Amino acid sequence: MKKHGYRVIPVNPNEDEVLGERTYDTVDQIPKEVDVVNVFLRPEKTPKIAENAVRAGAEVLWLQQGITNPEARRIAQEGGLGYIEDECIYHNVNESLQKG
């Protein structure tokens, strides 16, 4: 994603820095506008992340391929976020960029 010009702000309470970027413990701690919250965690963790994404004012909650959760979907949609699940963001963005 970074090679396509996207800024990636990692959320990982176990690390201080990832990919040359400072990490945050939760999405709602990021002091900048958040467009997409891209989730690579087990489905049972996604409702809490959805709540944090809503608090952060994110635009979209995106659960990576193989990840689905009806409660996360409900929280995101009730909070006004777009919601995508079980899809690889890189493949979607890369395909869109190739189409031009």
Q: Which pair of tokens denotes residue 47?
A: 């409702």
More confident residue, 95 or 36: 36
pLDDT level of residue 99 (50, 70, 90 thresholds): low
pLDDT at 47 over 90: yes
CA distances in angstroms from 65 to 16, 41, 51, 77, listed in the order given: 26, 10, 20, 19
pLDDT tens-digit profile of 9-41? Answer: 999 999 999 988 999 999 999 999 999 999 999
pLDDT level of residue 100 (50, 70, 90 thresholds): low
AA identity, residue 61: L
Please give the average per-residue pLDDT across 66-83, as a whole number. 98
More confident residue, 98 or 27: 27
Q: Is 1 exposed, middle or buried (0-12, 13-18, 19+ CB in 10 A)?
A: middle
Domain boundaries, the chain: 2-99
Q: Which pair of tokens denotes residue 56?
A: 């952060």
- What pLDDT shows up at residue 1? 77
| Cβ atoms of 43 and 67 closer than 8 Å | yes
- What pLDDT shows up at residue 7? 85
Cross-strand bridge partners of residue 63? 39
In the CATH hierarchy, which fold is given to the domain comprising 2-99?
Rossmann fold (3.40.50)
Neighbours of 69 (CB within 10 A): 21
Mean pLDDT of the chain: 90
